[in-house]
Amino acid sequence: MSLPTLDFSLILPELVVLITALLVLIADLLWPRAASRGREQAPAVLALAGLILAGLLTLLAGEWSGATLQGMLVADALARYLNLVVLLAAALGLLLSWSYLPHFSTQRSEYYALYLLAVAGMLFLGKSIELITLFVSLEILSIALYVLTGFHRGQLAGGEAALKYFLLGAFSSGFLLYGAALFYAATGATRLADIAAQNAGGFYMLAGLALFLVGLGFKLAVAPFHMWAPDAYQGAPTPVTAFMSVGTKAAALVALFRVVQAAGSVPVGVWATALAFLSLLTMTLGNLAALRQSSLKRMLAYSSIAHAGYLLVGVVAGTAAGFDAVLFYLFAYAFMNIGAFAIASLLERPGFYAVQDAGIHAADGLFGRRPWLAVAMAMFMLSLAGIPPLAGFFGKLYLFAAAVESGWAWLAVAGVLNSVISAYYYLRVVVGMFMAEPSASAHLRLPLPASATLAVALTALGTLLFGLLATPWFQGISR
């Protein structure tokens, strides 16, 4: 019997992230008192170094040609762009955590180890082309995120958020697993390539795909499976929210894309129509609910749900151009969304036992207090609303154009109408920052930690550059 040879160079970035997570734990065991000797940021430094190294390895690896590790993990162009999006979101979220975490927790090694494990899970999920690998990767990222959501143990809302996220997430994992079992029942294969080659039709594939849509829809926070998202996003520490709202979406979208491609025997019209209605429902519900929020973070949570709807438009289109648009939008979304959450985290008042959420008026009069911060926030809001020449505009342009090209004009129109609705609540924040007086409860001096400032500067720069240089970037992705 022949034993396989494994080419680990295909998953080098993932291995770097994993080993960094283990190193963070080992360092905590070897030097338990490092924190009291002024080295309390050592785990953060280590984690950031690991993420940057993984990013460099992804960039420098040249073309990812689609070679696979035993047909389980694939290194293709899609996985490469996903790696870049997730690592970017993770690095930005880590910069936010740097100054935010010490306010409420002393368990830094645990935080960063779980954070890196979640990143590793996302990276593996994006490379999975086999059902068991896909499920295990999804569970790694989910379990790490459940714990990170409830990481602020002194705060009741954090525990509630983690519990809701966990219960509904575990439930949705069951759906996904059932879908995988039906795929196996229909084809006797677990590798997506084999499943596609079998071309088995019929009830089992259809039911399996439907269950997959439900399971991944939960992770993507697609309506009507979005019920956990507002609470989880609001109750989680803001840097975690920023990271997971981008990273989980990106990884789950890539998995969804791979699965619908494999279920080729199910008529395209069936799943595309189902996804189109989910997309319509998601953006409409997300935007309408966001209009009525009194907390800035919760408003951004609903905005994040709406954006899951926009992103689905690209999957519905079903073409290569559609998914290229999704990848472009994910980059744009990583910058503008994490930027917005970064400013929300700066406006919060992290207290001893509970973090006081930034209300919808917390940003009022920000221009008078911190002009550059207000300008950056205005950029994020305008970009999220989809106003040119920022990144979000071009992201939506490519998405909706791809939808029109493949005959989904009504969905594109719905997306545009939704963007108009969303402009109301995004612009309300902008108007407040420049026109309104600061609310009485706003503290006079807004502290600006260096790491968070760097994150805001980077995201603002990204939002602007991805807008101004959208065409060359997009051509780079679709090549």
Task: Judge whether 388 and 464 are in contact, CB under 8 Å.
Answer: no
CB of 140 to another protein, least distance (A): 5
133 touching another protein, by CB under 8 A: yes
Cα 84 from Cα 214, distance rounded (Å): 27
Q: Which amino acid is at 312?
A: L
Q: Are 20 and 50 in contact (CB under 8 A)?
A: yes
> Which stretch, 49-57, 187-195, 326-334, 379-387, contacts another protein (CB under 8 A)?
187-195
Binding to another protein (CB under 8 A) within 145-184 occurs at 146-147, 150-151, 153-154, 162, 183-184
Amino acid symbol at 314: G
Least distance between another protein and beta carbon 9 (Å): 15
Supply the DSSP string of 291-327, one letter for each residue.
Answer: TT-SBHHHHHHHHHHHHHHHHHHHHHH-SHHHHHHHH
Counted residue by residue, the chain has a size of 479
Contact pattern for another protein over residues 82 through 121, marking x by CB under 8 A:
--------------------xxxxxx--x--xx--x--xx
Applying CB under 8 A, the site for another protein has a residue count of: 58
Give which of 456, 287, 466, 446 is closest to 378, Cα–Cα.
456
Pick 14 or 357: Cβ nearer another protein: 14
Produce one character per residue of 112-140: b if its CB has 16 or more CB atoms within 10 Å, e if not: bbbbbbbbbbbbbbbbbbbbebbbebbbb
Does 140 bind another protein (CB under 8 A)? Our answer is: yes
**Subset of 320-339 contacting another protein (CB under 8 A):** none
* DSSP state letters, 172-189: HHHHHHHHHHHHHHHHS-
Strand partners, 183: none
Q: Indicate which single residue of 9, 65, 70, 356 sits in contact with another protein (rule: CB under 8 A).
A: 70
Minimum distance, C-beta of residue 199 to another protein, in the bound complex (Å)? 11
Least Å distance, CB 6 to another protein, is 7
Helix (H, G, I), strand (E, B) or coil at 67: strand
Question: Per CB under 8 A, does 186 bind another protein?
Answer: yes
CB 28 within 8 A of CB 43: yes
Considering the complex, state which of residue 4 and residue 38 has its C-beta at the smaller distance from another protein: 4
CB of 72 to another protein, least distance (A): 4
Give me 3's structure tokens. Answer: 């034993």
**Smallest gap, in angstroms, from Cβ of residue 69 to another protein?**
6
* CA 93/CA 355 separation, integer angstroms: 18
Which residue stretch of 55-63, 132-140, 291-299, 369-377 sits at the interface with another protein (rule: CB under 8 A)?
Answer: 132-140
CA distances in angstroms from 215 to 164, 200, 247, 426, 433, listed in the order given: 16, 22, 17, 30, 39
Under rule CB under 8 A, which residues in 340-399 are in contact with another protein? 352-353
Q: x/- binding map, residues 5-24, to another protein, per CB under 8 A?
A: -x-----------x---x--
Q: Which residues of the shown chain bind another protein in the complex (CB under 8 A)?
A: 1, 3-4, 6, 18, 22, 25-26, 28-29, 32, 69-70, 72-73, 102-107, 110, 113-114, 117, 120-121, 124, 130, 132-133, 136-137, 139-140, 143-144, 146-147, 150-151, 153-154, 162, 183-189, 198, 200, 202-204, 352-353
